[in-house]
Amino acid sequence: MVCYNFMPVVDWTRTNLLYPTPVGGLALRFDMIDFIAYDVFVLKRAAAEDSYDAELVEAARKRLAGMSEEDVQTLEKNIIAGLPGGEDSHTREAIRTHIAAFDDLSDDDMRSNLVDFLKEVVPVAVENNVRLAIHPDDPPFSLFGLPRVVSKADDIETIFAAVDHTANGITLCAGSYGSRHGNDVVELASRFAERIHFAHLRNVSKEPDGSFIEAEHLGGDVNMVSLISLLRREERRRAAVGRTDSIIPMRPDHGHLLIDDQTKTVNPGYSCIGRLKGLAELRGVIAAVDQLDVRAA
């Protein structure tokens, strides 16, 4: 199983890597106002202001005015200088150049490129007994005006229609899809259950302006109990029809910085204690829904 993504220039992006939680942990957060402040007034991307509602731009202008130079440097580091989703590190001028290379590429162009890629790669995957699991955009909306084409149900339909084979599947990242207003993650999982090859189980709490915080695994906006119950039913269905890929690999994706992990150097989102706590909670849910399903049968 190969998990891959189709996000240009920036991978998964957050504005705050150490956001305090009410119980003493530190979480990842994407703050839309902070991001706009950086894009429009710090990076000064060409035509950046046109990408956002005027009220949000004005809020970003006021937010930036209250930031110290150290605050701005930390924000920049979080967004581009140490991209949490990748190993690359960009300077301000370098990322402007990378973004500008996509100025003439529309969402439709990017989608066409993805379809061309799938038509070439999926047949090879089939020949080699490989399952492809595309990861959604994170966040699942445009950043820096860049095209993003794996963000909602219609995008998944396009991917599957490009090459209609089981090997052409998805990574169900509950936190990524759950970060977009209008995405019902449980409904989405039900609709595309047959093609889920990998599950990233994490949770988010959204705000009206597009901001979100990575919540505890059993907190947030995604009904994790319903989602896990659905995935377990799909695993049993696959086993019953003889699919060799009946088990859907799962990971407790991301986790809060807890206890002494806060004093260690860890990759953002990948602390040991926070993810181990999430794993324990998720395994507890799995055991519970399995018992309920056995009784119902």
Give the type of residue at 40.
Answer: V
Task: From 171, 173, 261, select the one nearest 214 (Cα to Cα).
Answer: 173
- 90, 135, 217, 256: the catalytic one is 135
Active site residue 253: yes
The beta-carbon contacts of 56-63 under 8 Å, at least 24 apart in sequence, are: 56/32, 56/209, 59/33, 60/33, 60/34, 60/36, 61/37, 63/33, 63/34, 63/37
C-alpha separations of 31 from 18, 22, 212, 223 in Å: 12, 18, 7, 23
- 90, 197, 254, 256: the catalytic one is 254
Cβ contact 222:211 at 8 Å: no
Structure token pair of residue 162: 């490009």
Cβ contact 82:89 at 8 Å: yes
Active site residue 197: no
Active site residue 90: no
Cβ contact 74:128 at 8 Å: no
Active site residue 135: yes
Active site residue 173: yes
- 34, 39, 137, 173: the catalytic one is 173
- 90, 200, 217, 256: the catalytic one is 200
- 31, 253, 256, 261: the catalytic one is 253
Q: What is the set of active-site residues? A: 135, 173, 200, 253-254, 270
